[in-house]
Amino acid sequence: MFESLTDRLQATFDTLRRRGKLSDADVDTALREVRLALLEADVNYKVVKGFIKRVKERAIGQEVLKSLSPGQQVVKIVHEELMETLGEPGRLNLGMQSPAVIMMVGLQGAGKTTMSAKLALHLRKKGGRPLLVGADVYRPAAIDQLETLGKQLNIPVYHEGPDGSPPEVCANGVALGKKEGHTVVILDTAGRLNIDAMMMDEIKAIKSQTEPIETLLVADAMTGQEAVRVATDFNEAVDISGLVMTKIDGDARGGASISMREVTGVPIKFLGTGEKLSDLEIFHPDRLASRILGMGDVLTLIEKAQEEMDQEEAAKAGQKLLEGQFTLDDFLSQMQQIKKLGPLGKVMEMIPGFGQAAKGVDMSEAEKDLKRIEAIIQSMTMLERQRPKLIKASRKRRIAAGSGTSVQAVNKLLRDFRDMQKVMGQLRKRGGLKALGGMLGGGNNPFGL
Amino acid sequence: MRFLILAHFQLFPTTQHPPPNTHYPTPNTQKIMFKSLRDSLKKTRQSVFGQIVNALGAGEIDEETWEDLEALLIQADMGVETTLFVVERLQNRVRDEGATQTDQLLALLKEELRAILVEPDDFSMEEPREITVVLVVGVNGSGKTTSIGKLANRYKQVGRNVVVVAGDTFRAAAIDQLKVWSERADVPIIAGSPGQDPAAMAYDGIRAARGRGYDLIFVDTAGRLHTKYNLMRELEKIYSVCQRSVHQAPHEVLLVIDAPTGQNALTQAKQFKQSVAVTGVILTKLDGTSKGGMVFSIYRDLGLPVRFVGTGEKLENITPFDPDQFINGLFDASEPARPQQEESLTEQESPPDESTADDQSKKRRWFSRS
């Protein structure tokens, strides 16, 4: 959507610098870029205004003008200020009372039902005994949906069918949770418009009857300028205690989270990051700030890699690389590991600086290349994979036929692999491989995670 | 200008709304200093576009007019680019036509906005044809299933032989949800089982519907984010299956976008259009406070018309898109004002920090780059 804010600001400053000394007015010019970036990211207009004012105060105080790279300086300030606005990652407060009641509220289609199930799973992983309560009697099959999800997770769901009265259903659910020794009761309420007075009265009634310790506003990360109003209205009605941003796995910059956080003052507690019920993340202000600025998200990538990759396997591969014994077999397993991270395009986007580069490349082609390489290696014998030098003309023909590719493709792979080994050898001589090995090893994470 | 807004609010003393709750949840220390900002934010509580009418009420067109206009358009989710486009066009017209008063501006603004919403071609769902296949796509939670239910009802009412195909085999209970809608609309449903291959489901569904002589087939699909490569590939497969099932199908591919969506709506539309040749948009949840300003960008960038708007949870809450009504709706100050004790706080807002001549050239540069 927009190139990195850093580049844009640097370009602005470079132009200005040619005129000689930078002035306060020049900072204003740069801040206009920041303003546009934030508006494009769906941060609310008014929130942006206040934000820019705060950034300006800091920028002027910090001698940005004398700095060699004022663009980067301004971005740093903006990033810090964004993080400060986003606040500390909110933790779920379950209190001392059991069961702890969590009420989920929000607009239609924000993702409350899915999020309720995700949260239940998350809390069970932490040792809790969750009970889900289906209080959406309006949307067709909403209760069925919650029940299906409950079955998938083997978590009980309480409901009274589509004819129940939501406040009663919730109160009964909490009573049942207490009786049956559940530690957490999650109330999945119907989606409602913040201006629908009757429906807002309903969640007020649910709140007063069940006294939830957490009232979470579930909001779509793609929400636009109205985020402010939605958050304010829900907050006024039921005094929300936390925000949950869903569908953050799309490519919306998620500026709504800033707006909502700013007007309610309540922390962001969770992010919904995918369709799987385990796709729930604790909120990290630094990552969201980077995302809002379009700066990539290398931390998420590393974390994902750690989650999805086989650590032992990776450690072994790292060791082999260090010792110069990396074979085509190891190469194949590395490739398969990377594939687990998701579509290449998405992986690339998470690497700072690659997001833009990745846009120009047809990732589906790259994806096909990977598949071809996989097929070629799989068409080799074990011995060939260990000792690629054995592969001469006749073997090449066999491999090409077996993988449905051409001899040229086999040649290219072998050449690439040789080149890689060469580079590795050079790195090894310079001792630069230690760090790389560590990275692949995963065990001692260079990023200190 | 601000005085005018204030004056307007006081014209409506009998408000139904409760006075704004001045209680905030215990703010942490860091938040306290931003309280004034938070208070001033309450201003957005009035319908944004309604404010345009007030803001442009009367007086001379000056810098502040443009700034207010820009603010209001952006707050309606029109997006930076489209906002700057509209403002610039207006500025040119004001100069060319010698308008000096703000009350002349509203009519011009409406004209400019109307010009963006180009009248679309004939709508194949309305044309007589032996069989019409309509594929409905969109991101999660935008309202696809609900819209299909409402549309099925609408076309059944006018005598069409409607059937719905439950192509969302992924989301829990999505099939049940469509079943309830099909009962409400009293149209048959063709459904398989959860987890089934959706493309196969679509193919079988369309063939079966065709065999039984239905003439309007709605195919539901699972919600998917346009960034999910594999899911978009799956959708492409569903699309090509539709193509093979009936000549020239799918006749319409309708993308469902909900009005609260911000600038990402354009990206969604681009991606879905690229994958499955979207022919039109259904704009849902327009009964909330969101005005759906992002459809202007979708018209401008992609030439995709809005075909229907969803305005509630009831079966009949769907209407064909009427551009004039839509634009008038934008300016409809239907929202009664609230007591504006926070008005005084606007003084604390930062002074206008933009819209100098320099800024104009800057905007143009920004504009030309995109």
pLDDT along chain A (449 residues), means of 10: 56 65 74 86 91 86 66 79 86 87 96 96 94 95 94 96 93 96 96 93 95 96 93 96 92 88 93 90 83 64 60 68 74 74 62 51 70 88 88 91 91 85 70 46 34
End position of a domain, from candidates A33, A61, A86: A86
Pair (A124, A238) in one structural domain: yes
The H or E element that residue A53 is part of is helix A45-61
* Structure letter (DSSP) for residue A389: G
Q: Which residues of chain B make contact with A247, given a CB cutoff of 8 A?
A: 139-141, 225
Selected for mutation to probe chain A from B189, B227, B264, B296 (highest A CB count within 10 Å) is B264
Look up residue A338 and give its two tokens.
Answer: 């990377």
In a domain, A153, yes or no: yes
Pair (A215, A244) in one structural domain: yes
Look up residue A391 and give its two tokens.
Answer: 């592969």
**What average pLDDT does the segment B279-299 reach?**
92
Q: A224 and B143 in contact by Cβ < 8 A?
A: no
Q: Is the pLDDT of residue B7 over 60?
A: no
**What average pLDDT does the segment B304-308 reach?**
95
Phi, psi for B262 (deg, rounded to 5)? -95, -140
Q: Is the pLDDT of residue B52 over 70?
A: no
Share of chain B above pLDDT 70, in %: 74
User: Which residues lie closer than 8 Å to B285 by C-beta, 6 or more apart?
Assistant: A107, A108, A109, A193, B143, B258, B259, B260, B310
Pair (A287, A364) in one structural domain: no
Listed in order, strand segments (DSSP E) in A155-260 are 157-158, 184-189, 214-220, 242-246
Structural domain boundaries enclosing A386: 302-439
Pair (A281, A426) in one structural domain: no
Q: For chain B, what is the HEC assignment?
A: CHHHHHHHHHCCCCCCCCCCCCCCCCCCHHHHCCHHHHHHHHHHHCCHHHHHHHHCCCCECCHHHHHHHHHHHHHCCCCHHHHHHHHHHHHHHHHHHCCCEHHHHHHHHHHHHHHHCCCCCCCCCCCCCCCEEEEEEECCCCCHHHHHHHHHHHHHHCCCCEEEEECCCCCCCHHHHHHHHHHHHCCCEEECCCCCCHHHHHHHHHHHHHHCCCCEEEECCCCCCCCCHHHHHHHHHHHHHHHHHCCCCCCEEEEEEECCECCHHHHHHHHHHHHHCCCEEEEECCCCCCCCCHHHHHHHHHCCCEEEEECCCCCCCEEECCHHHHHHHHHCCCCCCCCCHHHHHHHHCCCCCCCCHHHHHHHHHHHHHC
**What average pLDDT does the segment B161-169 reach?**
94
Pair (A40, A82) in one structural domain: yes
Number of domains in chain A: 3
List pLDDT tens digits, range B243-286: 998 888 899 999 999 999 999 999 999 999 999 999 999 999 99
Q: pLDDT confidence of B370, banded at 50, 70, 90?
A: very low
Which residue, among B343, B337, B346, B331, has the nearest Cα to B64 in the 3D structure?
Answer: B346
Selected for mutation to probe chain A from B83, B147, B263 (highest A CB count within 10 Å) is B263
Q: Contact B363/B39 with Cβ under 8 angstroms?
A: no
Pair (A121, A248) in one structural domain: yes
Nearest CA in chain A to B141: A109
Q: Is the pLDDT of residue B31 over 50?
A: no
Q: Contact B146/B284 with Cβ under 8 angstroms?
A: yes
Pair (A82, A128) in one structural domain: no
Q: A44 and B225 in contact by Cβ < 8 A?
A: no
Q: B140 and A87 in contact by Cβ < 8 A?
A: no
In a domain, A414, yes or no: yes
| Domain of residue A38, CATH code | 1.20.120.140
Average pLDDT for chain B: 77
Q: Is the pLDDT of residue B97 over 70?
A: yes
Q: A263 and B80 in contact by Cβ < 8 A?
A: no
Pair (A251, A355) in one structural domain: no
Pair (A135, A49) in one structural domain: no
| Domain of residue A320, CATH code | 1.10.260.30
The strand pairing partners of A217, in sequence order, are: A105, A243
Taking CA atoms, A290 is separated from A254, A346, B2, in Å, by 11, 16, 36
In a domain, A225, yes or no: yes
* pLDDT attached to residue B271: 93
Residue B246 to residue A329: CA distance in whole angstroms: 47
In a domain, A448, yes or no: no
In a domain, A133, yes or no: yes
User: Which residues lie closer than 8 Å to A13 by C-beta, 6 or more apart?
Assistant: A22, A26, A30, A70, A71
Match 């987890």 to its residue by tokens: B195
Q: B79 and A40 in contact by Cβ < 8 A?
A: yes
Residue A3 sits at the chain B interface (C-beta within 8 Å): no
List pLDDT tens digits, range A243-282: 999 998 888 888 899 999 999 999 999 999 888 999 898 8
DSSP A263-281: HH-PPEEEEE-SSSTT-EE
Pair (A370, A411) in one structural domain: yes
End position of a domain, from candidates A271, A291, A311: A291
Alpha helices in A127-213 (DSSP H): 142-153, 166-179, 197-210
* pLDDT attached to residue A283: 86
Prediction pTM value: 0.74
Q: B267 and A42 in contact by Cβ < 8 A?
A: no
Which residue, among A46, A34, A88, has the nearest Cα to A227 in the 3D structure?
Answer: A46
Q: Which residues of chain A make contact with B264, given a CB cutoff of 8 A?
A: 42, 222, 250-253
Q: B228 and A343 in contact by Cβ < 8 A?
A: yes
In a domain, A447, yes or no: no
Q: Contact B252/B227 with Cβ under 8 angstroms?
A: no
The strand pairing partners of A387, in sequence order, are: none
In a domain, A330, yes or no: yes
End position of a domain, from candidates A51, A86, A121: A86
Q: Contact B282/B243 with Cβ under 8 angstroms?
A: no
User: Measured between CB atoms, which of A232, A250, A345 is closest to B264?
Assistant: A250
Q: pLDDT confidence of B106, banded at 50, 70, 90?
A: confident
User: Measured between CB atoms, which of B44, B264, B265 is closest to A229?
Assistant: B44
Residue A295 sits at the chain B interface (C-beta within 8 Å): no
Pair (A220, A175) in one structural domain: yes
In a domain, A444, yes or no: no
Q: B143 and A264 in contact by Cβ < 8 A?
A: no
Pair (A74, A154) in one structural domain: no
* pLDDT attached to residue A389: 86
Pick from B54-58, B109-113, B231-235: least confident: B54-58
| Cα dihedral A252, A254, A260, A263 sign | negative
